[in-house]
Every structure is written in C-alpha cells, then in structure tokens.
Amino acid sequence: MIGNVIAFRRFEPGGSIFGEEWVGLRYVRMFLSDPTFWQVFRNTLWMGGLTLVFCFPIPIVLALLLNEVRRRSLKRFVQSVSYLPHFLSIVIVAGITMQMLASDGPVNHVLGWLGHEPIRFIQEPEWFRTIYVGSEIWQTAGWGTILYLAALTTIDEDLYEAARIDGANRWQQIWHVTLPGIRPTMVTLLILNIGTFMAVGFEKVLLLYNPLTYPTADVISTYVYRAGVESNSFSYAAAIGLFEAIIGLVLITSANQLSRRAVGTSLW
Amino acid sequence: MVKPSRSYRVFQGVNGVVLTLVVLVTLYPFTNILARSFSGERQIRAGEVTLLPKGFNLTTYKIVFQDEMFWRNYGNTVLYTVVATAVAMVLTTCYAYVLSKKHLKGRGVLVGIAVFTMFFTGGLIPNYILVTSLGLKNSVWAIALPNAISVFNLLVMKAFFENLPADLEEAAQIDGLSTYGILLRIVLPLSKAVVATMVLFYSVSFWNSWFSAFLYMDQTDLMPVTVYLRNLIQGATGGGNAGAGTEQLSQVGANIQSVTIVLTALPILCVYPFVQRYFVSGVMLGAVKG
C-alpha cells in the first residue's frame, strides 16, 4: 500500500526514462534560442510579478478591515460572501469573467454610461494582464484572509491595552501591535507565493487566453502545454517545464533562506 | 473603556462602506449571470439586464435540459467525484496514518518525499507521458490516481492522527486487534471530524477540476460538466442546439453560457452555506501545523 502511495506521488524526471538516447543539453539550447520562449518568459515574469504585488497584500488589508468590524453578524456575512468564489470551479470563474467583459456585459455597460466605446476585452492583448489579475483578486482575496484573521485573534489584548496607556492611537496600534503580530503568517505566505511565482495560474490563463492575446497572455506553462500536448514536441516541452520548475525551487529556497536570516521565520 | 473618538467613528463608517463594496463586487457577477440566464435575447443584447431578469424567457433552460450530452457530462462529474474521492480518502488515510507513527523508520524520508512534491512537481509533460503509457487515458483513473494525495490534506490528517492518545491504540493492541483493526475500529471512529473535512476538500476539488479530464479524455461523452462548460465558453461547441429552431437559436446564443454557468455552479452554491465552516476549520488545522 505504501509503495503504491509513493508511486503516485513520485517525481518523474524530464521523461528521459522513456527516451531513446541521451541528447545532453540539446533541448535546453533549443529553447534558449527560441524567441517565443523569451516572450513567454517575459510574460511569466510580468504576470507573476503583478500577481504578487496585488494578490498578496489585498487579503492583509481586507483582514485588517474585517478585524475592525465590531458587529459579529456583519463580519460573518462579509466573510461568507467573500469566501464564495474560492469554491467555484476555475472554469466557472473564467466563464463569469468572460460574461462580465462581453460586449453586452456589465463592464461595457458602465463604459457606455461614461460615453466610452465598448471594448472587446477578451481579444485585446493590452487588457489581458488586467483581466487576469482582476479575476484572480476576485477569486482569491476573501479566502486569503482566513489565515490572517486566525493570526489576528491570537494577538494578546494586553498588548493593545499597554499601547493605549502609552498613548498610541489606532494607527500606531495597528503599526506596532497588529502587524508585528501577524508577521509570521505574512512571511510564510509570502514565501509560498514566491514559490508559485513561475507557475502563474496556468489553468486560468489557458481558459482566458486565445491566439489574439498570446503576445501578452502566453506564459511558460501554457507554452509547454501547447508545445508538448498539442504539437507533440514532448522532450522540448519537458525541458522548458523542468527549467520552470527549477527556477521555482530556487526561488522558494532562497526566499526561505533570506527570511530565516532577516526575520527568523521560515518554512523549514 | 476609552470613548471612541470622532475620527474612529468616521473610520468605522468608511470601513462599513468599503466592506459593503467588497460584498457587492463579489455578488454582482452572480446575480447578473442569474438574471441573464432568465432574460430575453433582445434585452441581453441591448445590455439592459443588471440585477433582475428582463423579458423573462426559459427557452435556453429547456434546450439545455434536453441536451443529452449535458446530462451525460453531469453524470460523469458525479461519477468521477465519487470514485476519485473514495480512492483519495483510502490512500491519504493510509499514508497519513503510517506517517503519524513516530517509531516508523524512514518516516522523515517519507514525509520529505511528499512535501517535496509541493515545491517541485514532475511537470505537465512527464505526467502526461506517464499516465498515457500506463494506459490510463479515457478512464476515471487518469483523474483519480494522479491527484489521489493532496500533500496539504495529508499533513492535516497526519497532524490529527498524531494528536490522538497513544494509550488507546496500545490498549486495543493488547486486546488483540490487528493493525488494520486498530485503524478501522479505533482510529477512524475517533477521527470523524477530520475525515469529514477531508472528504469535503477532495470532493469539491474533484467536482471543480477540469484539466485532467481535458488532458486525458478524448471523447466528449467522457467529459465532466466543467469541460462541457469550458468548450462552450471557448466557443468550441455550439452547446445544446440540436433540434432548435432559428428563433430559438438566437435566444440560445444570447444566454447559453449564463444558463450553463448557473447549472454548473448550482450544486456548489447549494451546499456552500452548510460546508463553509468545515473548510475554514480544515484550513486552520493545516495552518497550526504548517
């Protein structure tokens, strides 16, 4: 039984067990000289960066706001509603996103009020990143607050009391008591986020993009998918995939090391 | 208690407004999609539909209800969810139970192997080749086996088992129960809470998943409903327009996506209020450990 279990989780190195012969770094050289690779590499960095900049801090802000709510019923209601998108299939989220941005959808409706021409969001490369990050925030921000809210409840009331006696106002209390209180959680989640930096939301991109938006939307993982599964260049695609995974591993390991030295919190 | 200052009350007001906006932004897409699904074609095209249906029309619902493929795909989703969740529960429970035994030799290595896959996966292509060469394509196993153990769930369960009192198991051992007897008669009945949470975690994730099916299934009648919806929103198929008249077709074209989104999301939305707190407590369990 254990043997089976481990077999299902086993890491399969770049397909070489199925290959005919060793070709060394041929495929690596091949993708390094492929202009499309560099384009999807840049796109990946862009989208990973934007996701990190927006999707990491928003749950923190939302959790702090929720924490200030005094009416328990209101707090619970906001929480329940904001968790909801997390439970939907990513296909549904993509479907809703496309409906909202359709030429007869609400977003273009509002643009119409403002006297703006309708925009074909889904077909425009310059809109893709905004759409992606926006729908990512919609889907994940609420659920992301859970861990912060849990951390917030563990902060000792006496610390606030002491801060008030020392004359700290609300902002100073948040800055000097609340934020340090949730710092371990913040650091842990930041490290995890950095670890998934390269992976970007593969499934979501695959659902939202189309050949018209490839110039900005195509990321490493979707390129790997098309090269490998659609065009059958398995070894080539696997080489790129491995490259991506290694960068991810290096990122998370170095983030972990850095945070252990800097703030004394680390995953392992 | 200090009397709330004026600026604090202002802040409370602003905070209330901001959170109300969050709620509205989260809910509006749902109500809009729901309204569209019941609206007439002309009103949808004119962008008049906001919160409530306009030009009430059920044509698209009727067409989708008559579409055999939709129901077959829905049935597939149920089947895949049940099978995959069962497989995942058996494997995860066994693995977690073994890992929870502190005297196990090589325990650290076994945990390490599992955790390592959280940060470094085999990648899409090697997985694809593996599943294909095992002959799992076009079967439920292609969905169930590669996703059978979620490391997060594994660690949550392991932590739970570790916290069970060891005396109980020793007593059962002295009374002559075998290892499997202990697991089935002592440990699992004590772990109902965590087992229920894990079943929920797995079933929701399998219900929502689409990519494994999309990748490993070749025929449309094997697809789960998520892939049905995916093909619809990507415009790969016209949806259930078999046997529809011309005036019906334009109505269907206007809101078939909304209708399918509503029908696909419905089961999740129905159980959501009841299962939400289990999810939250499950995540907390994991967080305390991690």
Each residue's pLDDT tens digit, B74-120: 899 999 999 999 999 999 998 888 888 888 788 888 888 887 777 77
Q: Do A249 and B264 touch (CB under 8 A)?
A: no
Please say whether the beta carbons of A249 and A199 come within 8 A: no
Mean pLDDT, rounded, of chain B: 81
Q: Is B167 exposed, middle or buried (0-12, 13-18, 19+ CB in 10 A)?
A: exposed
Its ipTM equals 0.84
Q: Do B283 and A221 touch (CB under 8 A)?
A: no
* B86-89, long-range: CB < 8 A, 24+ apart: B87/B144, B87/B145, B87/B148, B88/B144, B88/B147, B88/B148, B88/B149, B88/B150, B88/B153, B88/B202, B88/B206, B89/B195, B89/B198, B89/B199, B89/B202
pLDDT for A6: 36
- Inter-chain touch B95–A5, beta carbons under 8 Å: yes
A vs B: CB pairs below 8 A: 208
CA distance A24 to chain B (A): 17
CA distance A68 to A158: 17
Residues B279, B280, B282, B284, Cα dihedral to 10°: 160
CB B41 within 8 A of CB B200: no
Using pLDDT thresholds of 50, 70 and 90, give the confidence band for residue B260: confident
User: Is a pLDDT exceeding 50 seen at residue A144?
Assistant: yes
Report the pLDDT value the prediction gives residue B85, as an integer from 0 to 100.
93
Which range is most confident: A3-17, B11-25, B137-151? B11-25
pLDDT digits (tens, 9 = 90+) for B188-247: 888 888 888 889 889 988 998 888 888 888 888 888 888 888 888 776 544 444 444 566
pLDDT in tens, A56-80: 899 999 998 888 888 888 888 888 8
Residues B235-257: pLDDT tens digits? Answer: 654 444 444 456 666 777 778 88
Q: Name the residue among A141, A140, A151 with its Cα closest to residue A62.
A: A141
Q: Do A11 and B117 touch (CB under 8 A)?
A: yes
Contact residues, chain B, for A208 at CB < 8 Å: none
If you average pLDDT over each of A19-23, B20-24, B166-170, which comes out highest? B20-24
- B41 vs B178: CA distance, rounded Å: 66
Mean predicted confidence (pLDDT) in A19-38? 72
Q: Which residue of B27, B116, B129 is in closest CB contact with A15?
A: B129
| Residue among A6, A96, A228 minimizing CB distance to B128 | A228
What is the C-alpha separation between B9 and B7, in angstroms, rounded? 5
CA distance A195 to chain B (A): 7
Q: How far apart are CA A20 and CA A90, in angstroms?
A: 38
Please write the tens of the pLDDT for every residue from B10-26: 888 888 888 989 899 88
Q: Taking a C-beta distance cutoff of 8 angstroms, is the pair A84, B26 a contact? A: yes
List the domains of chain A with CATH numbers.
Answer: 24-263 (1.10.3720.10)
Q: Is B2 exposed, middle or buried (0-12, 13-18, 19+ CB in 10 A)?
A: exposed
Nearest CA in chain B to A235: B125
For residue A268, count CB atoms less than 10 angstroms from its CB and return exposed for 0-12, middle for 13-18, buried for 19 or more.
Answer: exposed
State whether A229 and B124 contact (CB < 8 Å).
yes
Q: Which chain A residues are closer than 8 Å to B233 by Cβ?
A: 91, 94-95, 98, 207
Cβ distance of B123 and A77 shorter than 8 Å: no
* Structural domain boundaries in chain B: 1-57, 59-290
Residues of chain A in contact with residue B232, where contact means CB-CB under 8 angstroms, are 95
CB contact under 8 A, B265 and A88: yes
Instruction: Write down the residue that tokens 């196993």 correspond to.
Output: B141
Q: What CATH number was assigned to the domain covering residues B59-290?
A: 1.10.3720.10
Q: What is the arithmetic mean of pLDDT over A193-217? A: 82
